[in-house]
Amino acid sequence: MINISESASDKIKELLASEESPNLFLRLGVKAGGCSGFSYGMGFDDDQKDDDKEFTIHGVKVVVDSDSSKYLYGVEIDFEDKGMGGGFTINNPNAVASCGCGSSFKPADYEGTPEPCDDKVEA
């Protein structure tokens, strides 16, 4: 099961409402890469596959591909509106390590494909 706070679901609903397509849903996933082995993916989609897992959380349709579901079981997604420091956060109980930026993680049972962190900030 995936947990989404009410503040995160409210923000997701707000963002969905600003889109042109009424058929969009939130897609969550992971892919090999990132500085810890896996990186998170979170965005809107309208193409649901037969083997996707579907949840409705606080009125938000959430879809996870079958390969990602084992790495996202128990994930908690929150949203904090703190000006420039706010945004979505992911707390993953399956992660044994994560990078400093919080966008990648390492699960206990798989190394993934770690990549070097890019700490450069372009002006």
What Cα–Cα distance (Å) separates residue 55 from each residue in 23, 28, 36, 41, 108?
15, 11, 27, 17, 25
What Cα–Cα distance (Å) separates residue 101 from each residue in 14, 39, 40, 77, 106?
25, 11, 12, 15, 13
pLDDT of residue 119: 45
Q: What domains appear along the chain, each with residue ranges and CATH number?
A: 3-107 (2.60.300.12)
Q: Which two tokens stand for residue 17?
A: 């409402």
Burial group, residue 35, by CB count within 10 angstroms (0-12, 13-18, 19+):
buried
Instruction: Please measure the distance between the N-terminal and C-terminal CA atoms of the chain and give it in whole angstroms.
Output: 40
pTM of the complete model beyond 0.85: no
63-94 tens-digit pLDDT? 999 988 988 899 999 998 877 767 888 888 87
